Structure 1
Amino acid sequence: MSTTRERALTAAVDLVGTQGIRALTHVRVDERAGLPRGSASNHFRTRAALLAGVAAWISEQEVRDLGAVLAQPFDDLDGFVDVFSAGLELLTGPYAVRTRARYALFLEAASDPVVFAPLRAQREGFAAWSRRLLETLGARHPDTAVRAFMAFGDGLILHRLTVDPDAPVRPSVEAALRGCLTV
């Protein structure tokens, strides 16, 4: 059974991911979560605290949900493509609302270090994971390769979230990865 805090955070992510950052208010969170009025503000006194809580919650949920996928063993380029593609498909499929919320928070929180911290830490961890794998696969310039590969991933995510939710993932990931290895 979910706690009041978890229900509030789940509702907040849903609000931001479906209606945008401006929809995030304590009252709307309570309504969306089916909680008594004032419940969200008991846990998150200010809007800034609510934003910070949502950012941390998204990071926690993504680490949990993607951890199993990203931990799958592989020993070659095709295995990396499979794992990375599976992660992107989750982010833009079953977890699309949460991914939209994360992107909205990235834009909203870029100037707020408290809200931005968990999102940045998660991204830096993912970039470090990607860099190690690109290096293992033979990237000549792993720092350049990871920046390009992360930018590609962001672009594909935005494309699937906004333009073409059914865009094939694996062929694009493979092409981008092969290009990053030659940079």
Structure 2
Amino acid sequence: MAATRDRALAAAVTLVGEQGVRALTHARVDTQAGLPKGSTSNWFRTRDALVAGVLVWIAEQERADLLAAMGPAQTAGDVVDALTGLLSDATGPHAARTRARYALFLETAASPDVGPSVRAQRSLFEDWTREQLVRLGAPEPDAGARALLAMSAGIIVNRLTVAPDAPIRPTVELAVRAALIP
């Protein structure tokens, strides 16, 4: 049963990431996933439940990517490598997932049910970034972590919209090094 649910969620991400939030219907997800009609609604009774399920699934996938990519950094170069790799994946092989995340964030921005989950996911990235900056001796690790995440979001939006081939590493390197200046 979980495999069917995961197929539905992966299909939902593909639909939203490639066609936008209007494409997210139970019937379209069933078709995209190659599931019998009504399968998705067995897991997610309403569209809101489906949206929430997709956001949680995306967060789980991204958290797995984060944990795989980000061990303890020993040097600023390690942080640059990790962030560059994550941003490259988010705007390359996982671009549809990233577009789906952003589209669903915007769609649910006013929803009090979604906010805590979105903030919890962001705090994982912020915590890791802060820990790396502390380890490297950053004078203001909290501000540095927030700045690096804001820069990362900007790179993602830029690459997913107007500049898909924009270089990542030089900007990440500049921002990481700036966060380490006393």
TM-score range, shorter chain: over 0.9
What's 2:60 paired with? 60
What's 1:170 paired with? 169
Q: Partners of 1:115 and 1:94 in 2: how far apart?
A: 26
Instruction: State the TM-score, normalized to the length of structure 2.
Output: 0.93
Q: Partners of 1:67 and 1:5 in 2: how far apart?
A: 23
Amino acid at match of 1:16: V
The answer on 1:152 being equivalent to 2:151 is yes
Q: Partners of 1:70 and 1:113 in 2: how far apart?
A: 31
Amino acid at match of 1:136: R
Contact kept in structure 2, 1:51 and 1:115, CA below 8 Å: no
Q: Partners of 1:65 and 1:76 in 2: how far apart?
A: 20
Contact kept in structure 2, 1:160 and 1:166, CA below 8 Å: yes
Q: Partners of 2:10 and 2:46 in 1: how far apart?
A: 17
Q: Deviations over 1:129-181 (max 9, x none)?
A: 10111122222222221111111000011111112222211111001112222
Amino acid at match of 1:99: T
Amino acid at match of 2:9: L
Distance 1:145 1:65, change over 3 A: closer
What's 1:142 paired with? 141
Which structure 1 residue ranges, 4+ long, deviate > 4 Å from structure 2?
none
Instruction: State the TM-score, normalized to the length of structure 1.
Output: 0.92
Q: Deviations over 1:16-71 (max 9, x none)?
A: 11111121111111111111111111110001100110001001111123321112
The answer on 1:103 being equivalent to 2:91 is no
User: Unpaired segments of 5 or more residues in structure 2?
Assistant: none
Q: Partners of 2:58 and 2:117 in 1: how far apart?
A: 9
How much identity, in percent, do the aligned residues show?
56
Contact kept in structure 2, 1:90 and 1:96, CA below 8 Å: yes
Amino acid at match of 2:174: A
The total of aligned residue pairs comes to 182
